[in-house]
Homo-oligomer: A and B are copies of this chain.
Amino acid sequence: SADPAKRLSDERPNFIIMLMDDMGYGDLGVMGEPNRETPNLDQMARDGVLYPEFYTGAAICSPSRAAMLTGRLPVRNGFYSTNNFGHNAYTPQEIVGGISDDEILLPELLKKAGYTTALVGKWHLGHRPQYHPMDHGFDTWFGAPNCHFGPYDDKETPNIPVYRDRNMMGRYFEDFQIDRKSGESNYTRLLADEAVSFLQSQVNASAPFFLLWTPDASHAPHYASKEFLGKSRRGLYGDAMMELDHSVGRILNALRDNNMTNTLVFFSSDNGAALVDKGHGGSNGRLLCGKQTTFEGGFRVPTIAWWPGQAAPGTVSHQVGTQMDLFTTFTQLAGQPIPDDRVVDGIDLTENLRDGSITDRSVFFYRGDLLMAARVGHYKSHIWTFTTPPEELGNGTDHCPGMSIANLTTPEQINRTDTPVVIDLSRDPGEMYQLPTYTDEYQTEVNKMYKVITDHVTDMVKGRPALDWCDQAVMNWSPSGCEALNDCLTPPKSDPYRCYWPH
């Protein structure tokens, strides 16, 4: 099917998103990590554009990924739950819902534009058949629909399957080993091999491609291949970082070696580091709190763009970006119109990449469907504050360990709409110092923020919540392909219940 003539005339770039899982803002050498585990990513930043002010669409996996692939906030695309006020929801295997057929995903638009689309790694937008990534724009898939939690007993709970395309290839802890004691697993290597194989398969292709590469070794339980075990100075998490970095190097080298450098690559993370891992997880550097929260440590993520010949090497861009911008940017670059029948939150970063020009834009920080904070210019206003529910703190869970800032790091949900906490993120990315309410600066920024929020809320059409219902019967008992592997399990009787979201 290769058509060199068409290939030459098609100057649209290939796209790769390398989306890490629970990797923190401070985990890269270039972001100040003292152990410097990421020579390939640091080089990628020197060869590309570093975005120190880049955000996810949500501070937890599934809504974040749904936002990136739809270009829309989770409150619009339905990746939230109304069961627990202002709490985050995601897609564990007992979830009934998943990505709505009414949403238009980035790979769907790119496919329509003639791109070949591949997902290698975690999906996390629903594991039931109707949510399969190949029914939402991907031509191929190697990876798992859920997190690699376990091992389970396959009686109360099935182990999570790993798919190739439509059929399962086996399960974590059975066919895809993760040694919970040593942390050894070759799964990151498998995902890197898959990515490189995909790239090689595209060398003579007539169409450009989109690869979404989503390894999860930086999400607990962490793991690394034997080659990397014990190699870092930070324990298993650092070992996983080194292997992920090594894999990034392999993928970029595959592009270079095959003269496929007309490829726009974005590296980022789906949310901030999970500080509940208590020193065994990642680092958000100087940022406040972690995953699950609407503080910078939950939303601001390490982000690098790489586009040889198009984006100037060694650039640091102060463009405020979000992962939803990848939807808009890639769609535009592919020559497709942005859907005009719905609100899209992403902006087009093409000009920023090409000439450094900056677009003014606001960022909205939701927890569930509750708007907690907004960034307008370089000021962030917190209209609700909430860290870790007191009952969870009592269980030893803490999203803000060691951090205690008056009026801000409140375990309780507190409505501050009347007197928001306002912070200048340029001088204070750690959200340590609040603007005094009696200053003109405070009043000016609060008024700007009120206007932005009013416009935002006035426009808001909330999606139907997809993450309200759970049922043990929908877990991964008998994924497609289980018959061939003799690995079908018997589900319990269906008994739907409202999911409980503790955070």
> Which A residues contact B (CB, under 8 angstroms)?
26, 29-36, 52-53, 233-235, 237-238, 278-280, 283, 285-286, 288, 316, 318, 378, 401-405, 409, 424, 426-430, 432-433
Query: Which residues of chain B are near A279, meaning CB under 8 Å?
Result: 424, 427-428, 432-433
In the complex, 5 of the A-B residue pairs with CB atoms within 8 angstroms, ordered by the A residue number, are A35-B52, A234-B427, A238-B427, A402-B404, A403-B404
Contact of A286 among B26, B52, B53 (CB under 8 A): B26
CA distance A409 to B288 in the complex (A): 17
Q: If the complex has contacts A283-B430, A378-B233, are A53 and B32 also in contact, measured as CB distance less than 8 A?
A: no
Query: Which residues of chain B are near A235, meaning CB under 8 Å?
Result: 427
> Main secondary structure on chain A at its contact with chain B?
loop
Could you list 17 further interchain pairs (A-B, Cβ under 8 angstroms) beyond the known A34-B52, A36-B52, A401-B432? A29-B316, A31-B32, A32-B33, A32-B285, A35-B318, A233-B426, A237-B427, A238-B427, A278-B433, A279-B424, A279-B427, A279-B432, A280-B427, A283-B430, A285-B285, A402-B432, A403-B403
Residue of B nearest to A378 (CB): B233
Distance between A389 CB and nearest chain B CB, rounded to angstroms = 19
Query: Which residues of chain B are near A432, meaning CB under 8 Å?
Result: 279, 401-402
Residue of B nearest to A316 (CB): B36
- From A288, A427, A433, name the one whose CB has the most chain B CB atoms within 10 angstroms: A427
CA distance A427 to B26 in the complex (A): 12
Q: If the complex has contacts A34-B53, A402-B405, are A233 and B285 also in contact, measured as CB distance less than 8 A?
A: no
Distance between A417 CB and nearest chain B CB, rounded to angstroms = 23
Q: Is the CB of A34 within 8 A of B429?
A: yes
Query: Which residues of chain B are near A237, meaning CB under 8 Å?
Result: 427
- From A30, A237, A318, A432, name the one whose CB has the most chain B CB atoms within 10 angstroms: A432
CA distance A411 to B426 in the complex (A): 29
Distance between A428 CB and nearest chain B CB, rounded to angstroms = 5
Distance between A183 CB and nearest chain B CB, rounded to angstroms = 14
CA distance A283 to B428 in the complex (A): 9
Q: If the complex has contacts A403-B403, A403-B404, are A32 and B286 also in contact, measured as CB distance less than 8 A?
A: yes
- From A36, A279, A428, name the one whose CB has the most chain B CB atoms within 10 angstroms: A279
Residue of B nearest to A429 (CB): B34
Contact of A402 among B36, B378, B403 (CB under 8 A): B403
Distance between A409 CB and nearest chain B CB, rounded to angstroms = 8
Q: Is the CB of A401 within 8 A of B433?
A: yes
Q: Is the CB of A234 within 8 A of B426?
A: yes
CA distance A402 to B430 in the complex (A): 10
Query: Which residues of chain B are near A32, meaning CB under 8 Å?
Result: 26, 30-33, 285-286
Query: Which residues of chain B are near A33, meaning CB under 8 Å?
Result: 32
Residue of B nearest to A433 (CB): B279
Distance between A438 CB and nearest chain B CB, rounded to angstroms = 15
